[in-house]
Structure 1
Amino acid sequence: MLSAIVVVLGYIFGNFPTGLIVGKCNHIDIRHEGSGNIGSTNALRTLGFLRGGLPTLVGDVLKVVIPCLLVRYLICPNLTGDTNGFLSTNYYVLLCGFGVVLGHNFPFTLGFHGGKGIASTGGAFLVFNFPMTMIPLAVFLLVSYVTKYVSMGSIVGLISIPVSIAFFYPGQWVLVVVASFYTILGIARHKSNIERLMKGTENKLGSKKK
């Protein structure tokens, strides 16, 4: 029951459409610009870093950090769970964060058409384990910089998340499984990017939308 509650809590927060609001503040509907995605990458390409990319990124991170902090310190504090990580505070934090990503990707307020959840995924793992998050973040930045493809950096960064948890939390396979949900969903949301990468038509960092 508690698992369902924290997922629903996260989903409600995830429905906050940061990119759409940032776009409206700049007199555009971001759903009709660039890729049509409401996430920070499209906001960056459409409005630039300061007007679009940064505020959207911050908002999408905060909307997952806030509920995950509520779970960690108010709803499910100091739960040790079992040796596999099940029913621990960390387990509930990951579930709440996944609920936010679901809400961001499939918001009922926007007809279930949302973003890809990369920034929100990063925010969830900032609360889960801040030092550990530096590994997927470094992977994302490095791959994006080398390849010039944000989508490639996102995909490889997503894959590194459950790998990092398996290293930092040996034996706690429930946490690895929940983290893998983020990875699977994130890669699935990048289906069109993967197709363009294979065709060589994916947009590079700094380029205009084709």
Structure 2
Amino acid sequence: MTYLVVFIISYLVGSISGSYIIGNLFLKKDIRKYGSGNAGTTNAMRVLGKKAGVTTFLIDFFKGMLVVFIVKKLFGEEYIPLGILAAVLGHDFPFYMKFKGGKGVATTLGALAFFNFKLTFICYLSWLILTIVTKMVSVGSIAFYISIIIIYSIYSGLSGVNLIIIILIALLGIYRHKANIKRIINGNENKIGGRK
């Protein structure tokens, strides 16, 4: 029963979509109908502007942190990975948006940073470096998820089940970038500041 409660609470918090709220309430735009159709930071920045994009990132980042805080306080640390997974699922597949949300990068980053800052910072550096070198946010994001699998598998010391959950979160993130991966392979992926 505890697992179910943790999942439901975390999913509902994770389903709070920064870009959807900002777009609909303040700019009268449904982010899912513009740009890539993704309800995440990158598309929000392109469609709604830099301020809206930054605000979207902060909302999605801090809701990840909030989930970790709530789960730790109410249920204990052993339930945190499940809470993070549920929060990311809520972000990616929010029920009130017909399950069409974002890709979970900001939410994953915020949640894992609050859960284990040192390991997550290393993973974040991979995102930063690859994004700068390639000028593609998607490449950095994919590198971020791959580094989570590697770094957490080696250094986290998590139990088998919780490590598997963390790996599932990373694999979900990579899967959500499948369209980007195809464009990268074809040489058609968006670069920062414009198209290739």
Does the TM-score normalized on the shorter chain lie above 0.5? yes
1:119-171 CA-to-partner distances (Å, cap 9, x unmatched) read 11111101211122111111001101101111111111101112222232347
Q: TM-score, normalised by structure 1?
A: 0.87
Aligned to 1:35: 36
What's the offset of the Cα at 1:28?
A: 2.0
Instruction: Give the letter aligned to residue 35 of structure 2.
Output: G
Counterparts of 1:1-210 in structure 2, within 5 Å, are 1-24=1-24, 25-50=26-51, 52-76=52-76, 89=77, 91-170=78-157, 172-207=159-194
Instruction: Give the letter aligned to residue 162 of structure 2.
Output: L
Matched position secondary structure for 2:38: coil
What's the offset of the Cα at 1:113?
A: 0.9
Alpha carbons 2:13, 2:87 under 8 Å: kept: yes
CA distance in 2, matches of 1:122, 1:41: 15
Matched position secondary structure for 1:131: helix
Alpha carbons 1:97, 1:124 under 8 Å: kept: yes
CA distance in 1, matches of 2:110, 2:7: 15
What's the offset of the Cα at 1:66?
A: 1.2
Q: TM-score, normalised by structure 2?
A: 0.93
1:59-84 CA-to-partner distances (Å, cap 9, x unmatched) read 011222112101112322xxxxxxxx
Q: Which runs of 5+ in 1 are unaligned?
A: 77-88
Greater Cα radius of gyration, structure 1 or 2: 1
Mark the CA change 1:37 to 1:148 in structure 2 (over 3 Å): closer, same or farther: same
Q: Which runs of 5+ in 2 are unaligned?
A: none
Alpha carbons 1:166, 1:172 under 8 Å: kept: no
Greater fraction helix: 2
